[in-house]
Amino acid sequence: MMNTWTLQKGIPLVTVTRKGPRLLLRQDRFLRTVLPSDPQWPAVQQGFLWHIPLTYKTDTSSTIHRHLMTSPTDSIHIGEEASWVKINSDMTGYYVVHYADDGWDVMVKLLRENHTALSYKDRTHLIHNAFQLVTAGHLPLDKALDLIGYLQLEKQTVPLLEGLGYLEAFYHIIEKRDEPILTKDLGKYILQFFRTVIDQQTWSDSGTVSERRLRSEVLSLACHLDYPPCLERANQHFKDWLRSNGTLNLPTDVAETVFSVGAQHDHGWTSLLNTYKISLSEAQKEKILSALTSSRNKDKLQRLLAMGLEGNVIRSQDLSSLVLMIARNPKGHHLAWNFVKKNWDTLVKKFQLGSFCIRNIITGTTGQFSSPEELTEVQQFFESIKEQASQLRSTQLALDNVQKNIRWVQRNLKSLRNWLNEQMK
C-alpha cells in the first residue's frame, strides 16, 4: 500500500457518482495542467494507481465509514435513504474528491440549509476541493462560487479564511489585467458578502490564532478595496501614530494595514520612510517596507527599487523581498518585472544564480501574469539568458504558472463575469 504513495508522483483524484444505493468510484492522477479533454490525458494517466484508504459519512449515521480502494474503479453500498455523502471525513486523507453529475449541487444545498451537519474541517475541505477542481478544469467556477454562498452563515474562522483566500486570489489576478469593470464588480461583491465579518473585527490583538489571522486578512483586504469604515479607522490609528512620533505601539494584527493606508498620502509615505531609516526593529521595518510598496504612485515605487539596488537605505539582502512586494502591487507588477530584466546581471552577482532569492524573484514577479502577451515577454527574456535559464528550475516553474493563469482566465473569466452580474442584480 505505501509503495503506491511513495514511489509515484502526485496525488489521486477520486470521482464519486451516486447511482441509487451505491457510490461509483473512479481514481485518476490529479493534474492542474492537463485537462481530461486534452489529447495527452490518457498518456499522463497511464500506470498510476493508488491504494486509497477512503473515509466517508452520510446523513443516516454519525459513524465514519472506511473503505480501501485498490483498483481504478470501485463501488460502495450506502443505501437508498442517504440523501448526501461526504468523502474524506475531516480531510484526513491525501486525495482530492470530485462529486460528479449533481453531486456538487447536493453539497451546495446541504451547506445552505444545514451547514453544521458537517464539521468545520469538512466544510473547509469542500471549499478547498471545489476551487482546486476549478483550476484543474473539472468543475465550473460558478459551482464553486455557489458553494461558498453559505459563508454568510459561517461562524468558524477556518472555512471563512479558505473561501476568502480564493476570492482574494482571483481579485489580485484580475486587478492586474485591463478589466476595470470586472475588478470593480468583484471588489464590490467581496465587500458586500463579507461586510458583517469585516464590521465585526476589532482593531486589536485579541482572540485565537485563526481569529487573529482572519482579522489581519479581512481588514487588509477591506482597506485595499477602499471600504470607507476601514479607511477611516486605519487613518485615525495612523494619525495617532504620527502624533506620537512613532512611539505608539499599534496592534500587531493591524499595524501593516494602518501603515499601508497611511502610505497612500505623500506626508504619510515620507514619514514611514524616515521611520524605516532609523528603526531598530526588524519586524517594524518589514511592515513599513510592505506599506511603502503598497503606494499607488509609480514614481515612489521606482524610487524604492532604486534605493534597493543602491543598498544603503534598503539593505541588499532585503532587495528580493522589496521586488516581490512591489510585484504584488497592481501599479507595480510590471515595474518589478522590468526592473528584473534591466538589472538581471546585477541581481545574479548579488544573490548568485541558484539562490533562493533569485528563484523567488523569478517566480514572484511573473506569478500573476495571465495574458499570452505576458507569457511571450517572459519566454523572450528567458531565451535571452538561455545559458543561465537552463540551470534554473524556477524558469520552467514560472512559465508553467503563467500558462496555468492564462488557462484559468480563458476558462473562467466569462463565467465569473456572468455570475457576478447575477449576484449584483
Question: 410 CB contacts (<8 Å, ≥6 apart)?
Answer: none
Residue 184, in any domain of the structure = no
Q: What is the number of structural domains in the chain?
A: 2
- In this predicted structure, what is the pLDDT of residue 34? 80
Domain boundary (93, 125, 155) is at 155
DSSP state for residue 390 in the 8-state scheme: T
Are 13 and 27 a contacting pair, CB within 8 Å? Answer: yes
d(CA 318, CA 360): 12
Are 55 and 66 a contacting pair, CB within 8 Å? Answer: yes
Kind of pairing between the strands at 22-29 and 12-19:
antiparallel
Summarised one tens digit per residue, pLDDT across range 248-292 is 999 999 999 999 999 999 999 999 999 999 998 999 999 999 999
Domain of 147: which CATH number?
A: 2.60.40.1910
Name the grid cell of 206: 485579541
* Host domain of residue 143: 3-155
CA 268 to each of CA 111, 131, 292: distance values in angstroms, whole numbers, following the listed order = 45, 39, 9
Angle between helices 333-342 and 298-310 (to 10 degrees): 30
**H or E element: which one contains 360?**
helix 356-366
Q: Cell 546581471 belongs to which residue?
A: 345
Residue 86, in any domain of the structure = yes
d(CA 204, CA 55): 40
Domain boundary (124, 155, 186) is at 155
Are 287 and 255 a contacting pair, CB within 8 Å? Answer: yes
pLDDT tens string, the chain, 425 residues long: the values are 666 776 678 899 999 999 999 999 999 999 887 877 888 888 888 888 999 999 999 999 888 999 999 999 999 999 888 899 999 998 889 999 999 999 999 999 999 999 999 999 999 999 999 999 999 889 999 999 999 999 999 999 999 999 999 999 999 999 999 899 999 999 999 999 999 999 999 999 999 999 999 999 999 999 999 999 999 999 999 999 999 998 899 999 999 999 999 999 999 999 999 999 999 899 999 999 999 999 999 999 999 999 999 989 999 889 999 999 999 999 999 999 999 999 999 998 888 888 888 999 999 999 999 999 999 999 999 999 888 888 888 889 999 999 999 999 999 999 999 999 998 87
- The closest of 21, 34, 22, 2 to 13, measured between CA atoms, is 34
Are 82 and 58 a contacting pair, CB within 8 Å? Answer: yes
Domain boundary (155, 179, 203) is at 155
d(CA 417, CA 403): 21
CA 291 to each of CA 147, 259, 286: distance values in angstroms, whole numbers, following the listed order = 34, 5, 9
Summarised one tens digit per residue, pLDDT across range 13-67 is 999 999 999 999 999 999 887 877 888 888 888 888 999 999 999 999 888 999 9
Question: 160 CB contacts (<8 Å, ≥6 apart)?
Answer: 151, 154, 197, 214
Residue 305, in any domain of the structure = no
The pTM score is: 0.90
Phi-psi region of 381 (alpha: psi -120 to 50; beta: other; left: phi over 0): alpha
- In this predicted structure, what is the pLDDT of residue 130? 96
Name the grid cell of 5: 504513495
Kind of pairing between the strands at 12-19 and 73-77:
unpaired
Residue 341, in any domain of the structure = yes
Residue 297, in any domain of the structure = no
Buried/exposed code over 360-371 (b: 16+ C-beta within 10 A; e: otherwise) = bbbbbbbbbbbe
CB atoms within 10 A of CB 281: 10
CA 73 to each of CA 13, 77, 138, 421: distance values in angstroms, whole numbers, following the listed order = 12, 14, 18, 40
Residue 222, in any domain of the structure = no
- In this predicted structure, what is the pLDDT of residue 1? 64
Residue 361, in any domain of the structure = yes
Residue 137, in any domain of the structure = yes
